[in-house]
């Protein structure tokens, strides 16, 4: 996929707008290119540690499920938003562990800090930073999680290299993300709203796994997968009928996967 560093500004602006809203918006929700709050997100209601105010519906999975987070672990959440996955992970690490959330949108960090202070958590920290240049010490983290974020990073190889760097030897990651079965037609990749809505930035599943393998991770496995269907009426507001037909005839499927991998000892 073509490297587009300018898309960081698009994503930052879009998610900044979402953070300032009083109501939740899905990853594929109003202002992100399409409507329908259940297009991408999985339901968190009922999970230990779930905080409704921190759930903006921006995910495409639940990366803490099957992540093997243990009491006392140090967990890093990439693209932590308002803190949804951070607070779920905080319940898993307990009082002896720590959870760090990194996000590059100042409005999201501010919203997450408000939520943290309400909860009174002292072992939760939110840091403003870029996933391609993580503000985290090398070899300091047991588990890395992320939810529908890495597909928004222009340089995905660099992102996985950063994950590898911050993990302790023997540490591991659990990441929910969007991939495609085949390259999307150019019209979809160029739509900024879809990019900020977790679609156009997606690479193929094979490329995604190849990037992880090339970084040095081992025991890579898909924990969960599902097909994502964007309503046709939403797509028609963004692309022409001819472009929509090209998309359907391409055979490209949009999929949510939760993938895990380990850093060698």
Burial of residue 263 (CB within 10 Å: 0-12, 13-18, 19+) is buried
| The model's pTM | 0.87
Q: What is the pLDDT of residue 59?
A: 87
Per-residue pLDDT tens for 185-237?
A: 887 777 766 666 667 678 999 999 999 999 999 999 999 999 888 788 888 88
* Spatial CA neighbour of 211 closest among 127, 150, 146: 150
Q: What is the pLDDT of residue 25?
A: 46
Indicate the DSSP class of residue 5.
Answer: T
* Domains (range + CATH), the chain: 7-262 (3.40.50.150)
Helices (H) and strands (E) in the chain, counts: 9, 7
Token readout for 114 is 């408000």
- Report residue 16's pLDDT band, with 50, 70 and 90 as the boundaries: low
Per-residue pLDDT tens for 217-228?
A: 999 999 999 988
**Residue that wins the pLDDT comparison between 47 and 141:** 141
């Amino acid at each position: 996929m073509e490297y587009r560093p300018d898309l960081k500004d698009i994503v930052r602006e879009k998610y900044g707008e979402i953070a300032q809203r009083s109501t939740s918006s899905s990853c594929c929700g109003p202002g992100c290119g399409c409507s329908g709050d259940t297009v991408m997100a999985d339901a968190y209601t009922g999970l230990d540690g779930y905080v409704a105010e921190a759930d903006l519906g921006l995910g495409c999975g639940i990366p803490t499920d099957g992540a093997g987070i243990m009491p006392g672990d140090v967990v890093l959440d990439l693209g932590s938003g308002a803190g949804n996955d951070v607070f779920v992970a905080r319940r898993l690490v307990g009082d002896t562990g720590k959870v760090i959330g990194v996000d590059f949108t100042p409005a999201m960090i501010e919203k997450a800090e408000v939520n943290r202070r309400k909860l009174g958590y002292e072992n939760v920290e939110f840091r403003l930073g870029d996933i391609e240049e993580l503000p985290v010490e090398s070899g300091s983290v047991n588990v890395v999680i992320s939810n529908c974020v890495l597909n928004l990073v222009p340089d995905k190889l660099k992102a996985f290299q950063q994950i590898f760097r911050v993990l302790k030897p023997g540490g591991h990651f659990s990441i929910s993300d969007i991939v495609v079965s085949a390259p999307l037609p150019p019209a979809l990749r160029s739509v900024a709203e879809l990019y900020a809505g977790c679609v156009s930035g997606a690479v193929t599943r094979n490329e995604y796994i190849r990037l992880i393998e090339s970084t040095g991770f081992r025991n890579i496995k898909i924990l969960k997968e599902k097909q994502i269907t964007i309503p046709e009426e939403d797509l028609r507001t963004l692309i022409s009928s001819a472009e929509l037909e090209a998309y359907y005839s391409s055979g490209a499927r949009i999929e949510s996967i939760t993938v895990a991998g380990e850093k060698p000892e």
